[in-house]
Structures are given as C-alpha cells and as structure tokens.
Amino acid sequence: MHYKVRIKKLFKTPLFWLLTFVGNLIILLGSLLLYYFESDSAAMKLEIIDCVLWSTSLTTTIGYNTYAPQTFGGKLTFIAMMVCLVLHGIFSYCADCSGIVCPRG
C-alpha cells in the first residue's frame, strides 16, 4: 500500500513532470533531427515513424540495430542523444535517490 501513496506524491511533484517532459522532448527532437538529416540520403527510405522507433529504442537502451545513421548530421544526432540521455538519466537518478522527486515518508 505504501507504493500507492508514493506514486500519488510523485504525480504531484513538478520536478517529476519536468523530467518527463525533458525525456520526451529528447525523443521528439532526436526523431525530427534524424528524419531531417537521413530521410533523403539513407540507403533505406525512412519515414517519420521509423525515426520515432529509432529514437525510442535508443532511449530505452534496446537499440535499433537494423539502422545506423549514414550522414554526418545523423551521426551527430546520435551522439547528442546519447550524451543528453546519459545526463538526463544521471540527474533523474540523483534526484530520485535524494528524495527530491518523490520524498519518502
């Protein structure tokens, strides 16, 4: 039962919503940038849904091994997403462990 109270507190915390927004923004921007750089130059024709799939699978660390960026801009997008996701993950973990996001008790 304690987890239900904690989840309710979590949803009331502005930092939780900020972290959620930033994480989703990273996925959206990564998808749009990949589509912009790779849609015309890729060996396989990419649609926006392919870019969203790639960005989401990269975010969840599953990986999307059937496609790798081919252009310089696509590769920079990949690197930038990885750096942003690592920093976002570190900040989220530290905020959770310190009780900032969802205070315990």
- Inside any domain, residue 67: yes
Based on its alpha-carbon atoms, the radius of gyration of the chain, rounded to whole angstroms, reads 17
Question: Domain range spanning residue 42?
Answer: 14-97
Q: 88 lies in a domain?
A: yes
Pairwise CA distance, residues 53 & 62, whole Å: 11
Q: Is residue 19 situated within a structural domain?
A: yes
SS (H, E, C) 73-89: HHHHHHHHHHHHHHHHH
pLDDT tens per residue, range 19-52: 899 999 999 999 999 999 988 875 678 889 988 9
Q: Are 67 and 50 in contact (CB under 8 A)?
A: yes
Question: What token pair was written down for 94?
Answer: 């530290």
**Residue whose C-alpha is closest to residue 30's, from 85, 77, 91:** 77
Whether the pLDDT of residue 68 is over 60: the answer is yes
Could you tell me if residue 74 is inside a domain?
yes
Kindly indicate the confidence band of residue 65, based on its pLDDT and cuts at 50, 70 and 90. low
Number of domains in the chain: 1
